[in-house]
Structure 1
Amino acid sequence: MQHSREGFSMPAEPRPRRRRLAYTALTAAGLITLAACSQSAKPASAKDDAEPGGSSGAEPSAAVVSLSPAVKGEKVIADEPLVITARGGKLASVTVAGPGGATLDGKVAADGGSWTSAQHTRYSTTYTLKAQLTSADGSKVSRSSTFTTVSKDEIFVGTYNVRQGSSVGVALPVSVVFNKPVHDKAAVERGLSVTSAPAVEGSWSWMKDRDGKDRVDYRPKGYWKPGTKVTFGMDLVGVKNGDLVGTQKRRIAFTVGTARTATVDVVSKTLTYRENGKVVRSIPVSTGKETFETWNGTMVVLSKVPTIRMNSATVGIFGPEAYDLGEVKWDVQLTPSGTYIHAAPWNEGKFGRVNSSHGCIGMSTEDAGWLYQRLDYGDPVTVVKSKDTVASNNGYGGWNVAWEAWKKGSALA
């Protein structure tokens, strides 16, 4: 049978821990400099705002401070810790105040070179910065300015499908779905990277996700080898996408686990499960009946749940073929359109003999429980001798696209 949850939800993007960011904020003049209540790149002289006791003279020290992460002119990325960096001096104290005078907590580094906020900045908010420094010549210097954070309307973000430190199946691509249209795919793709040890040939390829959002997947030419160490990089800070700007900088390392694969033959009505290429077990199954044939081609495990309700209305099946099953056990999801491997005790006696499902791969409760304990996120399940091939955006169906055609889907091809 087929069951569909509402849309395809990739694993949620993990919320980054607070961390010190090392983004460099650049303008034509270099670092964005805050000085004397302006955002000019020209530092104010110590004479203009030096504290008593500072050195005198026509051209005192040019100690300056800079903001990060900053993008889109001189605006600052919101919802991240703020970092104030000193150049030509050491920070003694920093105060960053928002509307109503509320200040951000923060701490000056032991070497006086930087100050990092303990709280994230807010979107579309103007802050006032005041910094006290000791310049290289020993003079006391004050610096002050205002800055504004970007609004949510000015940024675009991508949700990715891999988690830090996780172990995944050999067929899992790296997939990124963007919350807003990507007008400059080449610029965005340049900000994405996948590296691995051992190194493999791989490529990004763009598509529309099932809900119409822009999506780009990276896969190697063939399945990952077990034990491969993979690192996904996202450096979109300051990347322009039409009138939008990127804000994300991520580095996600994960490992490829055991090679677990399943092949379903709809003619012999069997599922063959292998580990590292060796046949472990052959299971009699019942696949999609006529007009409800199971998708042909390779699908990838998206999720698992021990029990689920399957209601045919969620996949548009009504009338005589309608069903509503409240407790279907050992469910392994293969597509967001509703293809699952699951226990189907109501078809007892048909496994290995008759295809009678509405598109799912059914088997005995015992066999389904056994397979459920082994298949996991990113493992490939290939259906052979069926009819229509699963689409590349229906889950991770990109393995059914010929390699040369897949590479042409890159914006940098």
Structure 2
Amino acid sequence: MSGALLLAVTACGGGGTGSGGGDGKGGDSGAARSKQSEAVVSISPEDGAKSVDTSGALKVTAAKGRLTEVVVKDAKGRKLDGKISGDGAGWTPSTHLAAATKYTVHAVAEDSEGRTAAEDAGFTTLTPDDTFVGSFTPEDGSKVGVGMPFSIRFTRGITNPKDVEKAIRIRTEPAVDVEGHWFGNDRLDFRPEKYWKPGTKVTVDLNLDGVEGRPGVYGEQTKTIDFTIGRDQVSVVDAKKLTMKVMRDGKVIKTVPVTTGKPGMETWNGQMVISEMLTVTRMNGATVGYGGEYDIKDVPHALRLTNSGTFLHGNYWAGGAFGNYNASHGCIGLRDVRGGWDKKVPAAWFFNHSMIGDVVVVKNSEDRTVDPDNGLNGWNMSWEKWKK
């Protein structure tokens, strides 16, 4: 009996430590190791990192393999666009990151045997101390004339204009090439080479959140603006003939007598875009450098053409000037009545047949061409200069 017991103990011991153990757990572990991918995925910044830069810090790489999938999402589940390099060795985002935002990264790589390896990480971007925003025109949902650019003015001077411009995307239907032009360091306008085609739908994506516009100053806007181009109306003012021809789709629909700037106060020449429409407004010469020469509290049917104070407006005080002589301080005057009650006079008719973004062209004035940044008047710049 004792011999049988000894044999049983020896057999048990041999099963745990002898050469026969090679067919047990040790052998399975070796097989598992042989199936493990050689690819190594690396994510920068490291998991748990905070105050990460919004540009240049996020990178995903693969060694001994090729990246096959990289998904980056913010806390709301929105994906960040990016691209895997042709050799599969790296992935970079196609845009900057938003500020004060938590991101998660999931990356997968494949080795030469087709075996996959995955890596996950999470990090949070910096919270800026200084920010900027942009005020823009036209308004979301508006219908505008064929001359209307998309113009945005920033609250801080921009020293990284390429980064800011890259963060503004313009989409059109039908498609047309739209280019941006900087006026100084705080204004950026977008327009096509020629006036918009009527009916064009324009979508502007502002992805400024996280853009470093100048050292230490970051954008904080994410917004989409849609506007539509209305009918084609371009009006031509002849300062010598003292007429304005109103054209729709290139055809004259009405000709009205006007008065423009008198000698020494001539109206600008050039293409000007209606940027504001006021049924009544006050015009004071002191605000435009003409001292106390005039102060009219009830100017009717006023349409702004420049930032410096050029309007096309109703005029009830110029007597017989319309069509006969130039009598204004640089504005374009159309006959009107005090209070603007008569809908049949030229000023009321034109006001009621106009919209923001319509074009008014002045020719044959003794003054020079209006500056492109004086109002929404970039059409006075050649396409070649605009794109520079």
Quote the Cα distance in structure 2 between the aligned partners of 1:327 and 1:166. 27
Quote the Cα distance in structure 1 between the aligned partners of 2:74 and 2:370. 51
Query: Which of 284, 300, 310 does residue 329 from structure 1 map onto?
Result: 300
Equivalent residue letter for 1:351:
F
Aligned to 2:189: 217
3-state secondary structure, aligned to 1:286: coil
Aligned to 1:233: 205
Change (3 A) 1:217 1:280: same
- Report % sequence identity: 38
Quote the Cα distance in structure 2 between the aligned partners of 1:287 and 1:364. 12
Q: Deviations over 1:183-218 (max 9, x none)?
A: 11111111111111111122101012xxxx611101
Quote the Cα distance in structure 1 between the aligned partners of 2:241 and 2:97. 63
**Given that residues 181 and 190 in structure 2 are in contact (C-alpha distance below 8 angstroms), is that contact kept between their aligned partners in structure 1?**
yes
**Given that residues 72 and 238 in structure 1 are in contact (C-alpha distance below 8 angstroms), is that contact kept between their aligned partners in structure 2?**
yes
Aligned to 2:311: 340
Quote the Cα distance in structure 2 between the aligned partners of 1:270 and 1:317. 26
Aligned to 1:390: 370
**Given that residues 197 and 228 in structure 1 are in contact (C-alpha distance below 8 angstroms), is that contact kept between their aligned partners in structure 2?**
yes
Cα drift, residue 339 of structure 1: 0.8
Quote the Cα distance in structure 2 between the aligned partners of 1:339 and 1:72. 41
Quote the Cα distance in structure 1 between the aligned partners of 2:238 and 2:247. 14
Q: Which runs of 5 or more residues in structure 1 are unaligned?
A: 1-25, 35-40, 42-64, 78-82, 88-144, 409-413
**Equivalence map 1:294-305=2 (5 Å):** 294-305=267-278
Aligned to 2:240: 267
Cα drift, residue 154 of structure 1: 1.9
**Given that residues 99 and 210 in structure 2 are in contact (C-alpha distance below 8 angstroms), is that contact kept between their aligned partners in structure 1?**
no
1:166 aligns with 2:146: no
**Given that residues 315 and 334 in structure 2 are in contact (C-alpha distance below 8 angstroms), is that contact kept between their aligned partners in structure 1?**
yes
Q: TM-score, normalised by structure 1?
A: 0.63
Aligned to 2:286: 313
Quote the Cα distance in structure 2 between the aligned partners of 1:269 and 1:299. 17
Q: Deviations over 1:194-251 (max 9, x none)?
A: 111111122101012xxxx611101100000000111111112222222112222221
**Given that residues 295 and 359 in structure 1 are in contact (C-alpha distance below 8 angstroms), is that contact kept between their aligned partners in structure 2?**
yes
Change (3 A) 1:192 1:31: farther
Change (3 A) 1:66 1:341: closer
Equivalent residue letter for 1:361:
I
Aligned to 2:322: 351
Q: TM-score, normalised by structure 2?
A: 0.67
Q: Deviations over 1:120-174 (max 9, x none)?
A: xxxxxxxxxxxxxxxxxxxxxxxxx9x99835x4212111112222111100001
Which is richer in helix?
2
**Equivalence map 1:352-391=2 (5 Å):** 352-365=323-336, 366-386=345-365, 387-391=367-371
Quote the Cα distance in structure 2 between the aligned partners of 1:74 and 1:309. 44
**Given that residues 98 and 209 in structure 2 are in contact (C-alpha distance below 8 angstroms), is that contact kept between their aligned partners in structure 1?**
no
Quote the Cα distance in structure 2 between the aligned partners of 1:346 and 1:238. 54
Q: Deviations over 1:63-92 (max 9, x none)?
A: xx9746999999627xxxxx99999xxxxx
Quote the Cα distance in structure 1 between the aligned partners of 2:275 and 2:353. 14
Aligned-residue RMSD, C-alpha = 3.1
How many residue pairs match? The answer is 284
3-state secondary structure, aligned to 2:348: helix
Change (3 A) 1:156 1:282: same
Aligned to 1:407: 387
Aligned to 1:76: 100
Quote the Cα distance in structure 2 between the aligned partners of 1:276 and 1:74. 44
Quote the Cα distance in structure 2 between the aligned partners of 1:257 and 1:303. 16
Cα drift, residue 384 of structure 1: 0.7
Quote the Cα distance in structure 2 between the aligned partners of 1:200 and 1:28. 39
Higher relative contact order (CA 8 A, sep 6+): 1
Equivalent residue letter for 2:297:
G
Quote the Cα distance in structure 1 between the aligned partners of 2:176 and 2:48. 38
Q: Which runs of 5 or more residues in structure 2 are unaligned?
A: 1-42, 52-57, 59-72, 81-94, 107-122, 337-344
Q: Deviations over 1:12-65 (max 9, x none)?
A: xxxxxxxxxxxxxx962478689xxxxxx9xxxxxxxxxxxxxxxxxxxxxxx9
**Given that residues 282 and 298 in structure 2 are in contact (C-alpha distance below 8 angstroms), is that contact kept between their aligned partners in structure 1?**
yes
**Given that residues 33 and 67 in structure 1 are in contact (C-alpha distance below 8 angstroms), is that contact kept between their aligned partners in structure 2?**
no
Aligned to 2:110: none
